[in-house]
Amino acid sequence: MALFSSKPKEAAPSLPVHVGIIMDGNGRWAKKRGLPRKAGHVEGAKTFRTIVRYCSEVGIKYLTVYAFSTENWKRPSDEVSALMKLFKSYLEEAITDFRDDNIVIRFIGDKSGFSPELQKLMDDNEECARDRSGMVLNIAMNYGSRDEIVRAVKSISRDVKSGALGEDDINAELISSRLYTAGQPDPDLIIRPSGEYRISNFMLWQSAYTEFVIMNKLWPDFKKSDLDEALAIYAQRSRRYGGV
Ligand code: IPE
Ligand code: IPE
Ligand code: MG
């Protein structure tokens, strides 16, 4: 779709500032081809690279991709270990991968659930990209929004206990500032490929007024044109935030 296929000088008002993507459907993509589920994850990682770069090209300022949830550990151990291997090889090359695109890489989620080796790779990636000024890419790994909210509540409760905060200081802004996405705008648009109509513990607090676009495409099949389509659907929505 021509409207979104070239880099705008200034983001059009109808272009979302923050997009979230629930990268879903890798397993079904593989199953349809008689392949092991991990083959779907390998293919999904390719789509990830293409779509991240494309989001940056069209002028999205913040992109949050859901890569691994706090609930995904309950999958069969061979699938979890295949995913960890894939994350390792991906993070090794990611250090340079998005350099030319000036993309800032951040991880949201509980890093401590990963091996020390993976944690170091995540830290190194964040460190290398720290001075970049382009699109902010949040990669949600071992991310669960309920866990994120529980952490925020605990951190606020510690400050109330110590006297650093009073009960009257607790408001929506304070809670937002204790989430992994502190300082970032809430997502305007969340895209879920694979046709599932659910949020699966993704950005529960941040998505209070987010527009959802569900697409009947498995993530490994998701193309730039599908992102164009989601952006076009978003541009037609009327956001009222409870007003008229
Ligand atoms: C998303 O694809 C990748 C992860 C959750 C890690 P799935 O693996 O959930 O694929 P489906 O939903 O089973 O097809
Ligand atoms: C959500 O997908 C998590 C990621 C895409 C990383 P799931 O496949 O885990 O979600 P459910 O199980 O379909 O709700
Ligand atoms: Mg799934």
Distance CA 140, CA 22 (A): 10
Task: Give CA 170 to chain center in angstroms.
Answer: 27
Q: What angle do CA 86, 93, 19 make, to 5 degrees?
A: 75
Q: Which residue's CA lies nearest to atom 11 of ligand 2?
A: 200
* Helix, strand or coil, per DSSP, at residue 147: helix
What backbone phi and psi angles, to 5 degrees, belong to 152?
-60, -45
Residue 204 DSSP label: T
Please give the torsion angle defined by the CA atoms of residues 218, 223, 225 and 226, in that order, rounded to the nearest 10 degrees: 20
Ligand 2 centre from 75 Cα, in Å?
Answer: 11
- Taking a C-beta distance cutoff of 8 angstroms, is the pair 218, 25 a contact? yes
Q: Which residue's CA lies nearest to atom 1 of ligand 1?
A: 24
Active site residue 26: no
- The segments of the chain whose pLDDT lies below 70 read 1-13
Closest-lying ligand 1 atom to the alpha carbon of residue 83: 6
- Taking a C-beta distance cutoff of 8 angstroms, is the pair 187, 9 a contact? no
CB atoms within 10 A of CB 91: 21
Ligand 2 centre from 226 Cα, in Å?
Answer: 20
Give the global pTM: 0.94
Among candidate residues 59, 28, 2, the one with its CA nearest the CA of residue 193: 28
pLDDT at position 1: 43
Distance CA 74, CA 87 (A): 17
The two structure tokens encoding residue 229: 């389509």
Ligand 1 touching residue 177 (CB < 6 A): no
18-235 CATH choice from 2.40.430.10, 3.40.1180.10, 3.40.980.10, 3.30.70.260: 3.40.1180.10
- Average pLDDT over the chain reads 94
pLDDT at position 9: 44
pLDDT at position 53: 96
Ligand 3 centre from 87 Cα, in Å?
Answer: 17
Distance CA 139, CA 52 (A): 11
